[in-house]
Amino acid sequence: MTAQSGISERAQSALEDDFLRQAVRFTADRLRGKKQVSTEQLGNWESWRERGQAIRAHTIANLDSYLAQFADRVRQAGGHVHFASDAAEAVEVVLSIARGKGARSVVKSKSMVSEEVHINHHLQNAGIEVVETDLGEYIVQLANETPSHIIIPAIHKTRAQIRDLFTAAGGEQLTTDTKTLAGFARQRLRQKFLAADIGITGCNFGIAETGTVVLFTNEGNADMVANLPKTHIVLMGMERLLPTLEDLEVFANLLPRSATGQPLTAYLSMITGPRRRGDLDGPEELHVVVLDNGRSRQLGDPHFQAVLHCIRCGACLNVCPVYRQIGGHAYGSVYPGPIGAVLTPLLQQDETYADLPYASSLCGACAEACPVKIPLHDMLVRLRQRRAATGRTPALEKSAFHAYRVAFANHRRYRLAFGTARVLQRPLVQDGGIANGVGPLSAWTATRYAPAVAPRSFRARWGELRQTLHGPSGGSRTSEDGDARRQEEGTRDA
């Protein structure tokens, strides 16, 4: 049985790409470090998380009410609201608006929902030029690729590659220094903003009480996308609401800190309806497309409703040992990392992504990092169980998974199992990956590509990580962690 989404093959090639691996780790570490500093500076991080979780849980539990209110307020402010039950309907709404305007060019700012419905592809098929204007997305688009991180889409590209892409796009005598490259993008994209017929953005939050669309960005491109073209289309997942403006303060503290470690992004833009009478800029028309696409199926599900609390910060990616090894593309899905491994098979409940929940070590770091306390690792386990219960898991995988889970179920055994694996794998490690596993891991690696166990195992770094997440007073250091570290040092010396 082959992996449906092909994650094992892509993980293999990701592991062979040294730059990618380094870049992913470097980025993840940097973001994680900055997050730590900025959450410590804020203080009371646990209380903020709890408040964030409470607000998201309340909103999702009353989503019908808030969505109705939001739609009313958007219309009251002069905007249009469209409801799309799936990707095809969302695409049709956008295409019909574009056709109605005779649009020839569209500028976009980064939006995961637009990736989810593959809007670029459909617009281009309709003969409409689509330009991504977020610097990272622009690079990814020129390379004909998809984002590898939900916050920093082009982390897998080197500056030399970026220079080559920009040169192919018409840049002359470009060097590889950041200023020159960014300068080219600024100039080129400025022309695109001013000429575009339609701007498409996502939506970080919709405020129900005011009908406001809120965007958090750093570059300023979303503002140009939203303000300069005559028509602004907002693509938003239906769960993206907050009841009141006051609630936004909580998420203005949680989201940027969790995503990039910034106290606040450079721009927080609140858009309420199209331009008003007498305004000289701002869109003449504002369309908000509210997308379901499998989300409503999670409502009422005691185990998975909380996945809709997600605020798409990417913090779970940055701490995930699997993501750090293989990068975003290996998942083959729009949403990578732990959230992607949970959300993707939930949104698309066929065989395509059924193997994604296995791309996890179930270490729980994702849930610890999540600013709205989504129990991602519990969900991963349940998804695996759900799949096993349908009998679709091959016998081989079942036994391997069983061994894996037994090991994870007990800290001590986990440590021992990995300690053993680390010793045993030594002759087998190639380019940082394990070609063929040994012992309990061998069956697993026959169908999945097991990331090499880090020189110091994740378990051994767990104590440090807990400290990172909870601060030194977290009290979660146990003597077992200390043992692990000592044992770890011994192993390395050996």
The residue among 377 and 415 lying less far from ligand SF4, judged by its C-beta, is 377
- Contact partner at residue 347 from another protein, ligand SF4, none, CB < 5 to 8 Å by partner kind: none
Q: What is the DSSP letter of 451?
A: B
Contacts with another protein in 254-273 (CB under 8 A)? Answer: 260, 262-273
The residue among 122 and 240 lying less far from ligand SF4, judged by its C-beta, is 240
Hey, what amino acid is at 97?
A: I
For residues 272 and 288, is the Cβ–Cβ distance under 8 A? no
Q: 233 has which bridge partners?
A: 200, 287
Q: Which of 83, 169, 398, 476 binds another protein (CB under 8 A)?
A: 83
Contact flag: residue 307 with another protein (CB under 8 A): no
Determine the 3-state secondary structure of 308 from DSSP. helix
For residues 78 and 287, is the Cβ–Cβ distance under 8 A? no
Q: Which of 3, 11, 14, 81 binds another protein (CB under 8 A)?
A: 81
Contacts with another protein in 149-208 (CB under 8 A)? Answer: 152-155, 157-159, 162, 178-179, 181-182, 185-186, 189-190, 194
For residues 318 and 331, is the Cβ–Cβ distance under 8 A? no
DSSP E strand stretches across 171-298? 198-201, 205-207, 212-217, 231-237, 241-242, 267-271, 285-291
Q: Least separation, in Å, of the C-beta of 454 and another protein? A: 21
Size of the site for another protein (CB under 8 A): 103
The residue among 161 and 348 lying less far from another protein, judged by its C-beta, is 161
| Residues 6+ away with beta carbon under 8 Å from 181 | 159, 162, 163, 166, 174
Contact flag: residue 65 with another protein (CB under 8 A): yes
Q: Which of 10, 21, 35, 51 binds another protein (CB under 8 A)?
A: 51
Stretch that binds another protein, among 61-69, 118-126, 320-328, 397-405 (CB under 8 A): 61-69
- Contact partner at residue 330 from ligand SF4, another protein, none, CB < 5 to 8 Å by partner kind: none
Q: What is the DSSP letter of 162?
A: H
- Contact partner at residue 3 from another protein, ligand SF4, none, CB < 5 to 8 Å by partner kind: none
| Residues 6+ away with beta carbon under 8 Å from 469 | 36, 319, 365, 368, 369
Contacts with ligand SF4 in 284-343 (CB under 6 A)? Answer: 310-316, 339
Token pair of 185 as six digits: 């993008």
| Residues 6+ away with beta carbon under 8 Å from 22 | none
- Contact partner at residue 316 from ligand SF4, another protein, none, CB < 5 to 8 Å by partner kind: ligand SF4
Q: What whole-number distance in Å separates Cα of residue 299 and Cα of residue 421?
A: 41
Helix runs in 320-439, H state only: 321-326, 337-347, 365-369, 376-389, 395-409, 411-424
Judged by phi (left if over 0) then psi (alpha if -120 to 50, else beta), residue 393 lies in: beta
Stretch that binds another protein, among 242-250, 336-344, 394-402, 436-444 (CB under 8 A): 242-250
The residue among 96 and 410 lying less far from another protein, judged by its C-beta, is 96
Q: Least separation, in Å, of the C-beta of 249 and another protein? A: 4
For residues 257 and 203, is the Cβ–Cβ distance under 8 A? no
Contact flag: residue 382 with another protein (CB under 8 A): no
Q: Least separation, in Å, of the C-beta of 243 and ligand SF4? A: 18
Contact flag: residue 415 with another protein (CB under 8 A): no
Contacts with ligand SF4 in 238-267 (CB under 6 A)? Answer: 258
Q: What whole-number distance in Å separates Cα of residue 364 and Cα of residue 379?
A: 11
Contacts with ligand SF4 in 366-395 (CB under 6 A)? Answer: 369-372, 374, 376
The residue among 162 and 369 lying less far from ligand SF4, judged by its C-beta, is 369
The residue among 371 and 463 lying less far from ligand SF4, judged by its C-beta, is 371
Q: Which of 4, 12, 36, 62 binds another protein (CB under 8 A)?
A: 62
**What is the CA 223 to chain-centroid distance, rounded?**
22
Q: 105 has which bridge partners?
A: 129
Contact flag: residue 391 with another protein (CB under 8 A): no
Determine the 3-state secondary structure of 242 from DSSP. strand
- Contact partner at residue 363 from ligand SF4, another protein, none, CB < 5 to 8 Å by partner kind: none
Contacts with another protein in 311-330 (CB under 8 A)? Answer: none
**Dihedral sign computed on CA atoms, order 428, 433, 435, 436:** positive
The residue among 268 and 446 lying less far from another protein, judged by its C-beta, is 268
CB burial string 90-123: b at 16+ within 10 A, e below:
bbebbbebbeeeebebbbbbbbebbbbbebbebb
Contact flag: residue 219 with another protein (CB under 8 A): yes
The residue among 185 and 339 lying less far from another protein, judged by its C-beta, is 185
Q: Least separation, in Å, of the C-beta of 238 and another protein? A: 8
Contact flag: residue 275 with another protein (CB under 8 A): yes
Residues at the interface with ligand SF4 (CB under 6 A): 258, 310-316, 339, 369-372, 374, 376
